[in-house]
Structure 1
Amino acid sequence: MTQSPEPAFFAHVTDWVFDLDNTLYPHHTNLFSQIDVKMTAYVSELLQLPREEARKLQKELYLEYGTTLKGLMERHQIDSDDFLNKVHDIDYSWLKPDPALGEAIKALPGRKFIFTNGDRGHAERTARELGILDHFDDIFDIVAAGLTPKPAPETYDRFLALHHIAGPNAVMFEDLARNLIVPKALGMKTVLIVPNNFEPTFSEIWERDPAFDDSVDFVTDDLAAFLWTIVNPGQP
């Protein structure tokens, strides 16, 4: 489903901010699930835990610290570069070019950013595979965030200050409602990207967060169609 936006609602927007994983590509794409498996394997090897125990701990760290990486750094002082390199060593060929999304992003008036809890290399490889990398002005990754992930308020402040963005002039697209709480409070418009027909893949079931829906202005399961309604209203 897609809530059709009124173009006038976005007429003031000069900065378009997109999460990466499960936002710029569909939930059903076998990409983030690969990263998820790699993170479980990393925890298992690091702490010599059986896979199921490692996965349970991985999710606990995610919920407490915002990312598995942050939790492992706080509790076990791991090397962030080693973690990021290993969990992003995945097969990107599952991604297919998305010309419709690329044209819609290109047509948006103003600057466009990727704001991700992953690293820049992963974001670049993903966006390049989708055929949309050249449409973005910059990528703000977990390293630029000082390894402090969304939804920490200081991370959004750091992003906005770096690019001289005023919250009321921006919109953020995210697949996790909890990551839209701070943008909403900063005056940004917020759009939640959901799985097609609200059917989550196995790796997303554990991270559903309906309690934060008050931070969401719009919901869509088709980002390209949503954007195209804004840039080309009245057209099919």
Structure 2
Amino acid sequence: MKHIATPAPAATGRHHFVAPDARGFAHVETWIFDLDNTLYSHEAKVWPQIDERITLYVANMFGIDGMSARALQKHYYLKYGTTLRALMTEHAIDPYAFMDFVHDIDHRHIELNPVLGAAIERLPGRKLILTNGSRRHAEAVAGKLGILDHFEDVFDLADADFTPKPNREAYDIFLKRHAVDPARSAMFEDIAKNLRAPHDLGMTTTLVVPRTPDPYRESFEQEAVAEPHVDYITDDLAGFLVERTPA
């Protein structure tokens, strides 16, 4: 595993990295995007609110203080991939109630992103959102960004039978549901491990990293890591897409 501290600068002044054997985009017919921390930057202050709501849910559920709830939440995250999966597996909670609670956030810091919207609109073919969050959350955030109308559909955690990325099963259900050919698809994600299954399936993969460190996320979740299943790395999704689509 190779850590890319400073990917080669692109013409935009941002940073992009291309693997020597990277798959291209000329054949791509379906463009698949993760939502959280991929389609918006951490300045939107979305994820810190969700993270705090998850901690609060755990605290209320077990009747424990915030520090203990935080520790338990992170234990569950590392063991199961998501806190929700842990609570469903070990405590049989109602996943819909959990999702409604943790996504009840303030969207005031999310700003319209016309450059990203125009870049997505110009992409040739289908565009889909594949998220470990809820459809309502994805539609609310994408709507505030001004990009929702450019997407054919949202595939959320409920659609995946609450099996989260990076589990291969989640991608298999998505591909079947939307009749997507992975060999003619591209996947954009903010966490490197979530690109392993898409790459194995034949997709062109792009890791989206923050331009500046996000203090509210684990460091390993935002590293620019060059691994065999990562074709591209960028800290400027809009600029990256603009460079790969016709004017």
Stretches of structure 2 lacking an aligned partner (at least 5 in a row)? 1-13
Contact 1:28-1:201 within 8 A present in 2 as well: no
Tell me the secondary structure at the aligned position of residue 82 of structure 1.
helix
Could you tell me how far apart the structure 2 residues matched to 1:121 and 1:213 are? 33
One-letter identity of the residue aligned with 1:180: L
The answer (yes or no) to whether the contact 2:28–2:185 under 8 Å persists in 1 is yes
Q: Is 1:28–1:195's contact at 8 Å kept on the other side of the alignment?
A: no
- Residue in 2 aligned with 1:222? 236
Give me the CA root mean square deviation: 1.9
How far residue 147 of structure 1 moved from its aligned partner, in angstroms, is: 0.6
| Structure 2 partner of 1:74 | 89
The one-letter code matched in structure 2 to 1:190 is: T
Residue 64 of structure 1 corresponds to 79
* Equivalent residue for 1:110, pick from 121, 125, 134: 125
Q: Is the Cα–Cα contact under 8 Å of residues 87 and 93 in structure 2 kept in the other structure? A: yes
Counterparts of 1:15 and 1:54, CA distance in 2:
40
CA-to-partner distance for each residue in 1:81-133, whole Å, 9 max, x for gaps?
11111101100111000000000000000000000000000000000000000
Give the residue type in structure 2 aligned to 1:3: H
Say whether the 8 Å CA contact 1:117–1:141 is kept in structure 2. yes
Secondary structure of the residue that 2:108 maps to in structure 1? helix
In structure 1, stretches of 5+ residues that fail to align are none
Pair 1:186 & 2:222 matched: no
Distance 1:145 1:107, change over 3 A: same
Contact 1:98 1:130 in 2 (8 A): yes
Runs of 4+ in 1 over 2 A off after TM superposition: 200-214
**Aligned-partner Cα distance in 1 for 2:182–2:197:** 10
SS at match of 1:100: helix
Shift of 1:209: 6.3
What residue number does 1:138 align with? 153
Give the TM-score taking structure 1 as reference length: 0.92
1:32-71 → structure 2 map (5 Å cutoff):
32-71=47-86
1:91 corresponds to: 106
- The yes-or-no answer on 1:2 pairing with 2:15 is yes
Residue 14 (str. 1) matches residue 29 (str. 2): yes
Identical aligned residues as a percent: 47
- 1:27: how far off? 2.5
CA offsets 1:14-44 (integer angstroms, 9 cap, x no match): 0000000000001332111100000001001
Q: Deviation of residue 196 (structure 1)?
A: 0.5
Q: Distance in 2 between matches of 1:2 and 1:123?
A: 27
The Cα of 1:210 is off from its aligned counterpart by: 6.8
Per the alignment, do residues 10 and 86 of structure 1 end up closer, same or farther by CA in structure 2, a change over 3 Å counting?
same
- Count of residues in correspondence between the two structures: 231
Contact 2:209 2:222 in 1 (8 A): no
TM-score, normalised with respect to structure 2? 0.88
Task: Return the alpha-carbon distance in structure 2 between the equivalents of residues 68 and 215 of structure 1.
Answer: 25
User: Aligned partners of 1:225, 1:211: CA distance in 2, in Å?
Assistant: 20
